[in-house]
Structure 1
Amino acid sequence: MRNCFTRIALSAVALLLSTSLAPAIDVPVKTPDVKGAAKATSNSTKNSAKGVVTDAKAAAKAKIVDINTASEAELKAIPGIGDTYASKIVAGRPYANKAQLKSRKIVPDTVYEKIKDLIIAKQPKKK
């Protein structure tokens, strides 16, 4: 019991000393440059917006692959598509839409989510 009381008393004394000595310690505080911070934030926002535009342009430049006409080699060039999935895609043709890769269980959902923006399922023109 005395040991517990001693610990509590020492903790209280330490707390009182630390709070009473805190104002005596002189710690230099550097105030932030508000104008500089605003400029930095503005520049980082502009740079991140440029990155989004660049990513969109890169995606637009990426070759969209038609899953109804692409060769296995063209399909394997899509990130996430290997030999097995390329063979399954070719064997499952024709596709009315690209979502059929998922609904027919040609590729798993995780792979489909990665490739859905890189593929298309064009329909042959009627004569």
Structure 2
Amino acid sequence: MLKTLFLAGALGLAASAALAQTATQPATPARPAAPPAATAPATPARPAAPAAAPAATTPASALIDINSASEAELRVLNGIGEARAAAIIRGRPYRGKDDLVNRNIIPQGVYDGIKDRIIARQR
């Protein structure tokens, strides 16, 4: 009889402990299983391609006139900072956009990067 009481008490403690744990822990809803991954062949990640340079057919309205552009407008161009923009403004007027290189205002590499985005309009 003592064994039976002992067994009943042990079961009661175990049951109350289980109830206490479930009562204090919030119930989490079961999450649906993730859909199976696509079976496409694995390919190594490729770095993104560099942005394409502007086409040579850029409309004239989008071109920056080196004979009249402000310093802020010139600084939008790649490789043109405060000092180069000031040098471009000091060297005006230009007969052609290639005068920037011919008169050593900017290096050839910078010119190659911006030549499709600039123009030298004559007044």
Normalised by the length of structure 1, the TM-score is: 0.50
Count of residue pairs the alignment pairs up: 71
Aligned to 1:94: 93
For residues 79 and 63 of structure 1, what CA distance do their matches in structure 2 show? 15
Change (3 A) 1:110 1:56: closer
CA displacement at 1:56 relative to structure 2: 3.6
Contact 2:58/2:117, CA 8 A, preserved across alignment: no
Of 57, 60, 84, the match for 2:58: 60
Partner-residue secondary structure (3-state), 1:117: helix
Contact 2:78/2:110, CA 8 A, preserved across alignment: no
CA displacement at 1:60 relative to structure 2: 2.5
Change (3 A) 1:56 1:69: same
Normalised by the length of structure 2, the TM-score is: 0.52
In structure 1, stretches of 5+ residues that fail to align are 1-51
Aligned to 1:115: 114
Following TM superposition, the consecutive aligned residue runs of length 4 or more in structure 1 with deviations greater than 3 angstroms are none
Describe how 1:16-27 pairs up with structure 2 within 5 A.
none
Q: Percent of counterpart pairs with the same letter?
A: 47
Specify which structure has the higher proportion of helix: 1
In structure 2, stretches of 5+ residues that fail to align are 1-51
Q: 2:81 aligned with 1:82, yes or no?
A: yes
